[in-house]
Amino acid sequence: MKVLVIKTSSLGDVIHTLPALTDAAKAIDNISFDWVVEDSFQDIPRLHPSVDRVIPVSIRRWRKNPWASRAEIRAAIKTIQQEPYDLVIDAQGLIKSAFLTRFANGKRCGLSKTSCREPLASMAYQETVDVAKGQHAIARVRQLFAQLLGYDLVVDELSYGLDKTNFKRPVGLEKPYLVFLHGTTWESKHWPEAYWKELVSLAVDAGFNVYIPWGNEQEKQRADMLCQASSSAHVLPRSSIKNLTAVLMHAQGVVGVDSGLAHLAAACGTPLVSLYGSTSAKLTGTMGDKNKALQAKFDCSPCLKKECVYVGESSVKFACYEKLSATYVWNKLESLMS
């Protein structure tokens, strides 16, 4: 059986889809997948053993200048149409993903109009299923695949399909080491810098090396600042998702804010503490073995706002993280690692 998956972005959402592929591969003999994904995230589908072909697209760039990108768009559509599929699953439920689904050669399927984030997307499908909202994103995708492919979902089993033996230990990293993921897209998701500094000190005092990745200049400056206090704290060179996966896979532990890389750490099965203030751990928190998603205990958390609007007094920025101290987070990580 050959299935085309349409799930283009974002990094965390793409990672959320991996367990559904594992479920299907366990339930159906000889099933395989092709996957349409944003080019910057194409390393993620390639991590799963049931994915044969990855079809990269550049919707984010095309939107900025569709006329100039028309040749690229036509080429991508032609690639999508190259092979026939038993099923085409739009696992995103957005108009942009439905647009690509319409061109695929196979039975087009997806969420019903009451289940989609953008109800108009359901008009592109030949078969729709209802999946209740208000559940974790991973649970919803797993239910979508199970209903469309006709197998019973084993809820208690969760596997992203990543095999540690496929990832060599990164050269130049001194063990034992931890990875701290401080970068995130929303301003309101950032954990206080003072807490990060304290966490680095706690880790170094416990005998660990600390490695800190970055993705843009602002994150690079923060990483440099956090590493100034100790020779055992290091800024990682900017690298691909594939290389970062190997770094995370061989780490003794990870701490991260709500970000795609935190979900990648969860997929690696590495002991992970993830931090949620403005966003909801219930709906989009990291999931997996040796994983603890900590939700801030604050009146307006989760607010689901990119910018914090709290005007009360607080000793840290952002106020919702006040009780998620470095010591508290470190104790949780130590417990997971032991």
Tell me whether residue 308 is in a domain: yes
Tell me whether residue 159 is in a domain: no
Q: Looking at the structure, do residues 200 and 115 belong to the same domain, yes or no? A: no
Range of 317's domain?
A: 166-337
Tell me whether residue 306 is in a domain: yes
- Residue 46 has a pLDDT of 95
Q: Looking at the structure, do residues 185 and 255 belong to the same domain, yes or no? A: yes
Q: Looking at the structure, do residues 212 and 63 belong to the same domain, yes or no? A: no
- Residue 297 has a pLDDT of 93
Tell me whether residue 138 is in a domain: yes
Tokens coding 232: 């055992």
Q: Looking at the structure, do residues 132 and 178 belong to the same domain, yes or no? A: no
Q: What is the pTM of this model?
A: 0.94
The set of residues, in sequence order, having a beta carbon less than 8 Å from that of 26 and lying 6+ positions away, is none
Q: Looking at the structure, do residues 201 and 57 belong to the same domain, yes or no? A: no
- Residue 229 has a pLDDT of 83
Half-sphere exposure of 184 (CA within 13 A, CB side): 26
CA dihedral 42, 44, 46, 49 (to 10 degrees): -160
CATH number of domain containing 303? 3.40.50.2000
- For 203, phi then psi, to 5°, come to -70, -45
Q: What is the H or E stretch that residue 138 is in?
A: helix 137-149
Q: Looking at the structure, do residues 84 and 209 belong to the same domain, yes or no? A: no
Question: Where does a domain end: 103, 123, 149?
Answer: 149
- Residue 165 has a pLDDT of 84
Quote the number of domains for the chain. 2
Q: Looking at the structure, do residues 137 and 21 belong to the same domain, yes or no? A: yes
Tell me whether residue 157 is in a domain: no
Tell me whether residue 161 is in a domain: no
Q: Looking at the structure, do residues 84 and 143 belong to the same domain, yes or no? A: yes
Whose structure tokens read 């939700």?
A: 295
The set of residues, in sequence order, having a beta carbon less than 8 Å from that of 310 and lying 6+ positions away, is 300, 318, 319, 320
Q: What is the H or E stretch that residue 222 is in?
A: helix 217-227
Q: Looking at the structure, do residues 185 and 320 belong to the same domain, yes or no? A: yes
Tell me whether residue 158 is in a domain: no
pLDDT of the chain along its 338 residues, tens only?
A: 999 999 999 999 999 999 999 999 999 999 999 999 999 999 999 999 999 999 999 999 998 898 888 999 999 999 999 999 999 999 999 999 999 999 999 999 999 999 999 999 999 999 999 999 999 999 999 999 999 999 999 999 999 999 888 898 898 999 999 999 999 999 999 999 999 999 999 999 999 999 999 999 999 999 999 999 899 999 999 999 999 999 999 999 999 999 999 999 999 999 999 999 999 999 999 999 899 999 999 999 999 999 999 888 888 889 999 999 999 999 999 999 98
The set of residues, in sequence order, having a beta carbon less than 8 Å from that of 185 and lying 6+ positions away, is 259
Q: Looking at the structure, do residues 142 and 259 belong to the same domain, yes or no? A: no
Tell me whether residue 332 is in a domain: yes
Question: Where does a domain end: 149, 179, 197?
Answer: 149
Q: Looking at the structure, do residues 136 and 191 belong to the same domain, yes or no? A: no
Q: Looking at the structure, do residues 129 and 234 belong to the same domain, yes or no? A: no
